[in-house]
Amino acid sequence: MDRTTDLDMSLEEAAALGSGASFWTTEAVGRLQAITLTDGPHGVRKQEGATDHLGIAPSEPATCLPTSASLAQSWDPDLAHQAGVLLGSEARAHRVGVLLGPGINIKRDPRGGRNFEYLSEDPLLTAVMAQAWVNGLQSQGVGASLKHFAVNNAEDDRMRASSDVDARTLREIYLRAFERVIRRARPWSVMCAYNRINGTYASENRWLLSTVLRDEWGFEGVVVSDWGAVRDRVAAASAGLDLAMPGPDPVGDARVIEAVRAGTLEQDKVQQSASRIAALIRAVEAHGAGGTAVDHDANHAWAREAARRCIVLLKNDREMLPLTPQSSVAVIGEFAATPRYQGGGSSHVVPTRVDVPLEEIRALAHRPVSFEPGYRIADGGDAQRLREAAVAAAASADVAIVFLGLPEADESEGFDRTDIELPAAQVDLARAIAEVQPNVVIVLAHGGVLRLADLTDLAPAILDGGLLGQGGGHAIASVLYGESEPTGRLAETVPERLQDVPAYLSFAPVDSHVLYGEGIFVGYRWYDAREIDVTFPFGHGLSYTTFDYSDLSVSVQDDHLMVAVDVTNTGRRVGREVVQVYAAPVDAAAPRPPRELVGFGAVAVDPGQTVRTTVKVETSDLAYWETRIDGWRVQPGQYRVDVGASSRDIRASLVVDVAGDTRRLPLTLESTLGELMADPAAAEAFSSLLGSQHVDDAAGETLGMDMARMMAAMPVSKLVTFSGGALNEQFLIDTLDRLNEPEAPARVR
């Protein structure tokens, strides 16, 4: 999007351009036409005609793709790019200029009510998938709106709660995906969140919207508010917000004008925002007026393909799957006839059609397929009668396919879940069926992580699609009968119980504050660091074949590592393996997880074939946020590189040397003697001084003390106290200043 300056725009026009004309449109000012923004990200939710004041009225039919939670399970950026292209083409057809997505907030806790709309618990997987999606969408002349910026990880009290998070956690976990997508995909807009960050509303956070977003990352697009997120138009404009939505907002416009005339708001800020909005409008207009026809049949066929590639085979004991068409099948569960395929709230799409799993299974089976609902999605009905009929049907078939999941009312925008349980009636049904039928296949539909520990004991096979969009029914049947391979992998960890999750005690806001006390240890980082048993680990997913890994090699270059491994298909069917690369420093300078995802790649392998697979790992993805320099740092030294099929299924490992960053960490009076002696130049400079200080080790032993460890933890400033008057503070300051000079190691004189 080209940068534009509109110097002839009056203050009144610039202020008006900073708020919407309606719920979904910008103002038309001068020669600038209004453009439409509308919800995504798994479908175009375009309302026609008069809209209600909340924007929740019915919308025009559009292709409903797998939600972001499911799309991430494909681990396939090419698929994400194609999804963006399809959505962009439909948005253009509906004359939509900006599609509000993708949502890339990290899934801090499985109870997050909007987790279905986000990609993953991991920043790298999130960033790679979102970058591809944005590029695909914007290739069609429709702007993306990267959201929700930032640290919006819960729905309860979301319009005022403060996410209280330390600098390192903020950078490494919650801003990292935003930074990568903004730098590499250049989204046309970014949507700021409702919440506060360390006490300051995101819409009024100058550090977030100006210092980080624009000055550090070079963002040149429009910062738009989440709908209703602006509390103070003047404060927001001063902080770097460009477009306050929804509109109209004549009172806010007037306050902006008054603040400029009173000298409390810089006129340049208002004009710069207007210029950025004008550039966005012109970028949209440059790709034509839209209104082209949509091939709904072709898009539905693609939605089916996308759904197939998002399904995860969690368990497949006794090779229960794929099913043979000759088997007699009982389909159980109302979700088989009334599918759950998307989340609730602002992203809810009116689909062009919906594939029903029961109908699709019957189309592939060679024998009649019986069906019993087993339970009701909504309250009501004779639960005992429904269960008895379902158990009888299951007992009389060769295989029972049991559809379970969460009702839409249990997870939606606007509120968080209180647990991660399936409805008790559904679990009881599965247990009763397992008592009479050993061949049980469970198919899951849900937006957020579920506790599955009970189900793993009941069913030899479990298939997880999440929320697969309008083509999900066909995709499920296709995978069940082996017409398609299950190629998805989990983008989130499935814990044994809610009490094990990192934010279990600090997820809910207290007095409108949420403490991010688990720090960087989110998702698999937490479970792996604490060696907590999980039901299914991050990255897990089975295939209808098996793979062996061998001959791992790692080539270290200046700015990247090339990780290569042989993948052999040791089964009888063609399969797609997702090769995951994790890494961690052998001797970490700061607390870090045992391994972090640093790269991944997929490979299709025929039976008996060996394919050498190479994954490029950027050295920058080995970095951690070093608070002492307020920047990224790749620690020099040895790194263990793990290659495997999940964070818990490591198939091969190597230790390699990485040069890392050469700049030294600053030394201060608050640095410890251990930190000082770990710096070669400082150790040389202080060695004679420290050597002259007599330490009585025998006295330490008498007192039961480890003198060396105690001294290593002592701040440098304490040398003054314990020197007996031989040293003074200014002498230490001068010495440390010389040490901190670039390329000028100092010596104690």
pLDDT of 131 above 80 = yes
Which range, of 54-63, 362-371, 515-524, 698-707, averages the lowest pLDDT?
Answer: 698-707
| Residue among 296, 413, 283 nearest 44 (CA) | 296
pLDDT digits (tens, 9 = 90+) for 576-590: 999 999 999 999 999
Give me the chain's average pLDDT, please.
Answer: 93
pLDDT of 28 above 70 = yes
Q: Report d(CA 678, CA 546) in Å as an integer.
A: 47
Residue 190, strand partner residues: 146, 223
Average pLDDT of the residues in 527-535: 98
Which residues, other chains included, contact 178 with Cβ-Cβ below 8 Å and sequence gap of 6+? 104, 146, 149, 150, 190
Cα 713 → chain centroid = 38
The superfamily (CATH) of domain 297-536 is Glycoside hydrolase family 3 C-terminal domain (3.40.50.1700)
Buried-exposed string 306-334: b where 16+ CB fall within 10 A, e elsewhere: bbbbbbbbbbbeeebbbbeeeeebbbbbb
| Token output for 721 | 């106290």
CB atoms within 10 A of CB 55: 18
The pLDDT of residue 134 = 98
Residue 679: pLDDT band with limits 50, 70, 90? confident
The pLDDT of residue 133 = 98
Q: Report d(CA 316, CA 322) in Å as an integer.
A: 9
Domain ranges (residues) in the chain: 11-45+64-285, 297-536, 547-658, 673-740
pLDDT of 88 above 50 = yes
Which residues, other chains included, contact 85 with Cβ-Cβ below 8 Å and sequence gap of 6+? 136, 137, 139, 140
- What does pTM read for this prediction? 0.95
| Residue 515, phi then psi, degrees to nearest 5 | -90, 120
Buried-exposed string 523-552: b where 16+ CB fall within 10 A, e elsewhere: bbbbbbbeeeebbbbbbbbbbbbebebeeb
Phi-psi region at 491: left, alpha or beta (left = phi > 0; alpha = psi -120 to 50): alpha
pLDDT of 4 above 70 = no
Q: Are 205 and 239 in contact (CB under 8 A)?
A: yes
pLDDT digits (tens, 9 = 90+) for 339-356: 999 998 888 999 999 999
The pLDDT of residue 701 = 59
The pLDDT of residue 723 = 76
263 or 678, higher pLDDT: 263
Q: Are 106 and 153 in contact (CB under 8 A)?
A: yes
CB atoms within 10 A of CB 188: 25
599 or 346, higher pLDDT: 599
Average pLDDT of the residues in 396-422: 95
pLDDT of 573 above 70 = yes
pLDDT of 56 above 70 = no
Residue 112: pLDDT band with limits 50, 70, 90? very high
Given CA atoms 353, 355, 358, 361 in this order, what sign does their dihedral have? Answer: positive
Q: Report d(CA 491, CA 749) in Å as an integer.
A: 57
Please identify every residue annotated as catalytic: 226
Binning the chain into helix, strand and coil, the percentages to the nearest 5 are 35, 20, 45
Q: Report d(CA 466, CA 279) in Å as an integer.
A: 38
User: What is the share, in percent, of the chain residues with pLDDT greater than 90?
Assistant: 82
Average pLDDT of the residues in 190-201: 98
pLDDT of 747 above 80 = no
- In the chain, the N- to C-terminal Cα span, in Å, equals 58
Residue 50: pLDDT band with limits 50, 70, 90? low
The pLDDT of residue 464 = 97
CATH code matching the domain that covers 547-658, chosen among 2.60.120.10, 2.40.50.140, 2.60.40.10, 2.30.110.10? 2.60.40.10
User: What is the share, in percent, of the chain residues with pLDDT greater than 70?
Assistant: 94
| Residue 565, phi then psi, degrees to nearest 5 | -150, 145
The pLDDT of residue 2 = 44
Q: Which residue's entry shows tokens 């038309």?
A: 28
SS3 244: strand
CATH number for the domain running over 11-45+64-285: 3.20.20.300
Residue 582, strand partner residues: 597, 642
Q: Do domains 297-536 and 547-658 have the same CATH topology?
A: no
Average pLDDT of the residues in 502-506: 98
Residue 726: pLDDT band with limits 50, 70, 90? confident
Q: Report d(CA 325, CA 675) in Å as an integer.
A: 67
Q: Are 361 and 370 in contact (CB under 8 A)?
A: no
pLDDT digits (tens, 9 = 90+) for 198-223: 999 999 999 999 999 999 999 999 99
Residue 3: pLDDT band with limits 50, 70, 90? very low
